[in-house]
Chain A
Amino acid sequence: MNYSMIRYILSSVLGFEGLFLLLPAMVGGIYGEKEGWIYLAVAAGSLLLGMLGRIKKPESSVFYSREGFMAVSLSWIILSLVGAVPLRMTGEFPSYIDALFETISGFTTTGASVLSSVEELARCTAFWRCFTHWIGGMGVLVFIMAILPLSGSSSLHLMRAESPGPSVGKLVPKIKSTAMILYGIYIIITFCEMIALKIAGMSLFESMTLAFSTAGTGGFGLVNSSIASYSLAVQIIITVFMLLCAINFNVYYLFLIRRPKEAFLNEEVRSFLLIVFVSAALIAVNIRADYSSIFMAFHEALFQVASIISTTGFATADFNLWPEFSKMILVTLMFVGACAGSTGGGFKVSRLMIIFRSVKNEILSVTHPRSVQKVHMDGRRVPDNVVKTALCYLATYILILMASVLVLSIDGYDMTTNVTAVMATFNNIGPGLNMVGPTGNFGDFSILSKIVLMFDMLVGRLELFPMLVLFAPGMWRIPARKAEKKKSGMNL
């Protein structure tokens, strides 16, 4: 393990977090809030630490996937630990654990809150909460890659560990340009939404924070009632952008390079949209009686469906009160999640498609034992190891889900609360049902449960394996430098 390289990357992450923290400090300055100084202090500390850690360049640039996974998971842990400091220091959160829960929930774009009243937060804190979504949405290491010169192989391993989806595809030959394109698209989408919301009559501050929250598919809002208190136009704009951000960003790139035909043929996006509209239609029929018109019922249904499947977690209606059938559809959608290569979390549509297709193949091979079958996506064969990883992912996913629910049940809340709390955090959605429903919060859970949920959020955002790898035997040993010394010794 090349620890000095990991130290170098972690220091860069700290440095960039310091820069990010300057933004809420500025917001604090604009609105004349004293909390702004706290953000400024933490930003300075974080920047300083980052600079100190970067003074000594690593001697060996040996970087394999092991180092990549470790750097990514440690980066996210450090990012959250430091990001929580100002939240606690402003005194708005009762304990560091609560502040940490809120920050992890922010960076992992979950949007689950421990607060019972969001309105009381200082503007800079509210801004920071939403901005963490934006950073976490595309990934902080991808951001660093787009800016800092890292060697090709090391950035590839980082990208693999951080990017969501069953297999990582580059858009252009250079990883740095790929990262820049992704962030470029991300920034454009965010900016468009900001303008749209501003036109719809929101203040600049509101439109900015909500745009960050939506683009990162996070879900932190500015008021307790989430989006319900805003006008219909705002709700529709947010619905559209939630869906846009849950679509594979590669598709937008295909539009950019004028190959829209391939973009429209993307099977994952088509399935995603199909799921969205079918679910919304079913729910609309189911809840028709509660709303004034079929249009309103469909609008409410679509907003909730988009919010859950894109793993954003905004709400315009308390779906906790909806009929059982509608609730069950939403719980199922929690499991589905967004498209690979988007800012959304969850299990990912493409992974589900791979699993369904290999199940279909398995059934076929019972009737035709000698048939040769391969899983196909977008007219291309999916490599066997990708299929295998997807199946393994499902198994691991279920195991973690069960284990987490088991630990949560110690607190003694009802099963729906426990299961949906785990699903909502694990899939980075935010609200669940019953106690953790759209109007509730996670504040009442015990510290142990909160720690488990924090772990679930991180594991879910980084797609299981990077975090789990930290616990793998032998991961922390074998410094790469030692192995190198051995090699040069032989040459002498």
Chain B
Amino acid sequence: MKIIIVGCGNVGATLAEQLSKEGHDITVIDTREQLVENISTSCDVLGIVGNGASFSVQSEAGVGDADLLIAVTGQDELNLLCCLIAKKAGGCHTIARVGNPVYSREISFIKEELGLSMIINPQLAAAREMARLLKFPSALQVDSFAKSRVDLVNYRLEESNPLCNMKLKDMGSRLRCDVLIAVVERGEEIIIPDGNFELKAKDTISIIGNQAKMVEFFKKLGVPTAAAKNAMIIGGGRTSIYLTKQLLDMGIRVKIIERDEKHCEELTEMLPKAMIICGDATDKELLMEEGLMETEAFVATTNFDEENIMLALFAKSCSKAKRITKVHRISYDEIINNLDVGSIVYPKYITAESIIKYVRAMKNSIGSNIETLYRLNDNRVEAVEFLIKEDAPVVGIPLQDLKLKPNMLIGCITHRGKVTIPKGQSVIEVGDTVIIITTTAGLHDIRDVVR
């Protein structure tokens, strides 16, 4: 597909990289020459320097026969204008990034009236992910599948955990619990395990199951499953505002520490139920005074990635709080993962993921039968939801006899709205949806799954 991306910031660059890898024709537009240059040297994309909202720049980028325009500059209004002009000029699908909380309640109105295909809000998406994590603080990451009927939880095995040194085939009989371990991350390696796989301490496992079963599973393991009762948020940016709203709705008490006095006042106005503290979070005394030792959750959302990481590391040293760190800019993913800063939320990846989902769905109408797509473990694992049609080669065969390609796993089967975690005897029927967990990127059809 021909896709135009306006804005080459973090989100734009991530999108350009990932979409060009998926084989789309990407043209990027930005006014900043250096950024355009950087992207067009590192990825196979065409770069154009100019204002993305200008008609002549857009037509130079080929808006006339483009399929999709994605506007992800830092300015909401500019993004909307880009989309409007593209819509009139080329009649293509448009996706705009709109992040201002002022607009957030009017999103559906804007989307309908301006005829946009999708509006993304990286900060809101990040906040949603953070809230999900705080609901279940033991997890490193929580994703929801199959219309939120199934959860996928990432969990790091500590040495005391009973699962350590257990083979997966023994797990069912010992724990009597209907969940599935789909992915294991051991050091740098990502493994899709089979029955003979033995878990070890410090593995990060991804577990699939419905919410009730998941809670049961963790209770059996002796892991606390209750949501956090209070949270300390550093930084009063947009992410923080969205997050606070959600946490307050969940009944979690929130304390925001923000440096700028004037902004603090705005925050108090916007979030009357939250406690706003004006002060510098890098000040140790202040954190202690505000009860870092007692807090159950610590979220670092300042605009400086380094500061967030430092704060999370500090919080680790002096409290048992659940830590969430926002990392937006820097790209040393491997190193940050090894620092043990708790859960890390990357707004740029979340945004890219939801757009890629949309792009694949657009392509869907051209042929493949993907319903939804999720990316896990820093994009190294994909969970793809397929709708099973009559000609699919997996219908009617018990799973134990089905020959899947290596590094593929059937995560769950939804049969008439009921979710089951597959066993050897399970059979896939026409009309079911299945979730395939795989380390092979870019699955397009259920046929690609079997040998």
| Contact surface of A with B, Cβ cutoff 8 Å | 151-153, 155-156, 170, 172-177, 383, 488, 490-492
Q: Is B20 an interface residue (CB 8 A)?
A: yes
**A173 close to B26 (CB less than 8 A):** yes
Chain B residues whose C-beta falls within 8 Å of the C-beta of A383 in the assembled complex: 33
CA distance A153 to B44 in the complex (A): 6
Q: Would you give the shortest CB distance from A438 to chain B, in whole angstroms?
A: 43
Q: Kindly state whether residue B338 has any CB partner on chain A within 8 Å.
A: yes
Q: How far is the CA of A176 from the CA of B20 in the complex (A)?
A: 12
Determine the residue in chain A with the shortest Cβ distance to B50.
A380
Contacts known (A177-B25, A492-B187); A170 close to B46, Cβ less than 8 A: yes
Q: From B188, which residue of chain A is reached at the shortest CB distance?
A: A491
User: Are B41 and A173 touching (Cβ within 8 A)?
Assistant: no
12 contacts between A and B (CB under 8 A): A152-B20, A153-B41, A156-B40, A156-B41, A156-B44, A170-B46, A172-B25, A173-B25, A174-B25, A176-B44, A177-B25, A491-B335
Minimal beta-carbon separation of A257 from chain B (angstroms): 9
Q: Interface digits, B286-323 against A, CB 8 Å rule (1 contact, 0 not)?
A: 00000000000000000000000000000000000000
Chain A residues whose CB sits within 8 angstroms of the CB of B338 once the complex forms: 491
Cβ proximity bits B40-52 to A, threshold 8 Å, 1 near / 0 not: 1111111000000
Residues of A near B335 (CB, < 8 A) are 490-491
Q: Is the CB of B44 within 8 A of A175?
A: yes
Q: Which residues of B contact A172 (CB under 8 A)?
A: 25, 46
Most buried by A among B2, B21, B43, B187: B43
CB-based contact B33/A173 at 8 Å = no
B334 at the interface (CB under 8 A from A): yes
B35 CB to nearest chain A CB (Å)? 14
Q: How far is the CA of A170 from the CA of B43 in the complex (A)?
A: 13
Is the beta-carbon distance between B42 and A488 smaller than 8 angstroms? Answer: no
- Chain B residues contacting A173 (CB-CB under 8 Å) are 2, 20, 25-27, 44-46
Which chain B residues in 26-41 approach chain A with CB under 8 Å? 26-27, 33, 40-41
Which residues from chain B sit less than 8 Å from chain A, CB to CB?
A: 2, 20-21, 25-27, 33, 40-46, 187-188, 334-335, 338
Complex alpha-carbon distance, A155 and B41, angstroms: 10
| Distance A151 CA – B335 CA, assembled complex (angstroms) | 26
Task: Give the nearest-CB partner of A153 in chain B.
Answer: B42
Cα A18 to Cα B62 with chains together (Å): 39
Q: Which residue of B lies closest to A380 (CB)?
A: B49
Other than A491-B334, A491-B338, give 18 A-B pairs with Cβ distance below 8 A: A152-B20, A153-B41, A153-B43, A155-B44, A156-B40, A156-B44, A170-B40, A170-B46, A173-B2, A173-B26, A173-B44, A173-B46, A174-B44, A175-B44, A176-B44, A383-B33, A492-B187, A492-B188
Contacts of A156 in B (CB 8 A): 40-41, 44
Assembled-state Cα–Cα distance A177/B27 (Å):
14
How far apart are A471's CB and chain B's nearest CB, in angstroms? 24
Alpha-carbon separation in the docked complex, A177 to B62 (Å) = 15
Q: A490–B187 Cα gap in the complex (Å)?
A: 12
Q: Smallest distance from the beta carbon of B41 to chain A beta carbons, Å?
A: 7
Q: How far is the CA of A156 from the CA of B46 in the complex (A)?
A: 11
**A155 proximity list for chain B (CB < 8 A):** 44
Using Cβ atoms and an 8 Å threshold, which residues of chain B touch A175? Answer: 44
- The answer to whether residues A152 and B44 also contact, given A173-B27, A177-B25 and a CB cut-off of 8 A, is yes
The residue among B2, B46, B187, B188 with the most chain A CB atoms within 10 A of its own CB is B46
Name the CB-closest residue of B to A490. B335
Which residues of chain B are near A176, meaning CB under 8 Å? 44
Q: Which residues of B contact A151 (CB under 8 A)?
A: 44
Bound-complex Cα distance A488 to B20 (A): 26
- Bound CA span A176–B25, Å: 11
Pairwise interchain contact B26-A488, C-beta atoms closer than 8 A: no
Tell me how far the C-beta of A315 lies from the nearest C-beta in chain B, rounded to whole angstroms: 41
Please indicate the chain A residues that have their CB under 8 angstroms from the CB of B46 in the complex.
Answer: 170, 172-173
Question: Which residues of chain A come closer than 8 Å to B187, judged between CB atoms?
Answer: 491-492
List residues of chain B with CB within 8 A of the CB of A492: 187-188
Q: Which residues of A sit under 8 angstroms from B25, Cβ to Cβ?
A: 172-174, 177
Q: Give the complex CA separation of A151 and B42 in angstroms.
A: 10
Name the residue on A nearest B338 (C-beta): A491
| Bound CA–CA A172/B187 (angstroms) | 40
User: Chain B nearest CB: distance from A203 CB in Å?
Assistant: 43
Residue of B nearest to A262 (CB): B60
Identity of the chain A residue whose Cβ is nearest the Cβ of B24 in the assembled complex: A173
A34 to B26, CA, bound (A): 51
Contacts of B40 in A (CB 8 A): 156, 170
Residues of chain B lying within 8 A (CB to CB) of residue A153: 41-44
**What 4 A-B pairs are tightest by C-beta distance, nearest first?**
A152-B44, A173-B25, A173-B46, A170-B46
Is A152 a contact partner of B334 (Cβ separation < 8 A)?
Answer: no
Bound form: Cα–Cα A492–B335 in Å: 10
* A152 to B20 alpha-carbon distance, docked (Å): 9
Alpha-carbon distance between A174 and B46 when the two chains are bound, in angstroms:
7
Q: How far is the CA of A175 from the CA of B44 in the complex (A)?
A: 6
For A152, give its contact among B2, B27, B43, B188 (CB under 8 Å).
B43
